[in-house]
Structure 1
Amino acid sequence: MAWGRGAGERRRPSAFSAVIAALVVVALVIAGIAAWQVWGTSWRASAATRQAMSDFSAGCSAGRAQADQNVVAVMSIPSLGVETPVVRGVGKDSLRRGVGWYPDTAAPGQSGNFAVAGYRITNGAPLRHILQLKDGDQIRVRDCRHSYTYSVEMPASGLTVGADAGWVLDAVPGHPERIPSQALMTITANQDQVPSDQRAVLFARLVTG
């Protein structure tokens, strides 16, 4: 006698099928998180960046001193088509609005090391193409009163350090004992397109301003 299933009976899902279904769900969740990190945070950062630029213009129009402003300058990189606000501090809130200024370093155009940091991925990625800059490329920084032009001397593609390499922020990078006699600029950004503790570092020197 052939034994078969009744018309109303259904095959129970196997353990293998359940595992596959769970893996699919996990993959979809991970993909959703990754999509938000890349596109969602950039969408949110776009609005924050526009507001930061507006705050900067309003502060300049009102004659507020740089020390009283949260957005201290605007940085542009002509060869990359980049223009982004320079926001006081390097915490997450600052970096989702533009590039962040290390407030313990020099102010724009001043003797010493004007140092900023920014993202290459997520949160608008203002430094997405920083590794494309070459020796001699220009970086312009303007505050409410002055405009400064820096020339790249060490491209970011040529120097990678660990996230804890504080020497790049020295007034004279690598020489904390020296008194600065020139106006320098340092840009730090994540080296890789995935999270890591590696940082790409660019050094530039003030040429006009």
Structure 2
Amino acid sequence: LVKLAGFLLTSLAAWYLGYFFAALIPKEIITASIADLQDIGKKPVLRAPVPKRQKCDHWSPCSPGNYAYRILSGGGRAKLAKICFEDELLISEEKGNVGRGINIAIVNYKTGKVKSTEFFDMWGGDHSEEMMTFIQNAPEGSLLLMVTHDDGSSRLKNDAKKLVEELGSKEIWNMKFRSSWAFLAAKGFKLPDNIQKEKINHSDKTKNRYNGWPAEIQIEGCIPRDLI
């Protein structure tokens, strides 16, 4: 009986003290404390931030005062070439202006806007002189972005190769049947030495991903806007 009486007395005292302090402490504090205790058992959900997409799908952004470019050659029959400049597709399957042969986009360097695009089929016809005229008509202060899809060499004449060489190409004379080739040139000014300007591939290094055709290649980078 003594123990029972002591237990009841202690319980009554605890209840009274709890009631007393509850009356003194604001309700908002009590509610927040209960919520904090409920959150203790919850595991935090960690979510990696979604990476920000960069211009022309670069891995890292170009610094302010630079143009972004990406030139991707074709791969096999179905994977068509693409030319992107400042996050705008200048030549692509989506735009419906890419074709077999050598694809060329001319961009006004000062404005960064495309002036004209064209492709020249070097397998199905004699378009070498047309390509020369297209390049020669590009105004001074132009960027020329060139890329192949399928074959760009079979009917490419030497005078056209010489013209592209004068723009700075080191690989135009090495182009073979269905070589993958990408090239960036400037007319009337000089591009920096430390940016990607040209790449070529003659063989399928992907174990016949494209049934013996050379695998696609790409060049990309950032061009300063204050070269002229």
Q: Given the two structures, how large is their TM-score scaled by the length of structure 1? A: 0.23
User: Which structure is higher in helix share?
Assistant: 1
> Which structure would you say has the larger Rg?
2
Higher relative contact order (CA 8 A, sep 6+): 2
Q: Given the two structures, how large is their TM-score scaled by the length of structure 2? A: 0.22
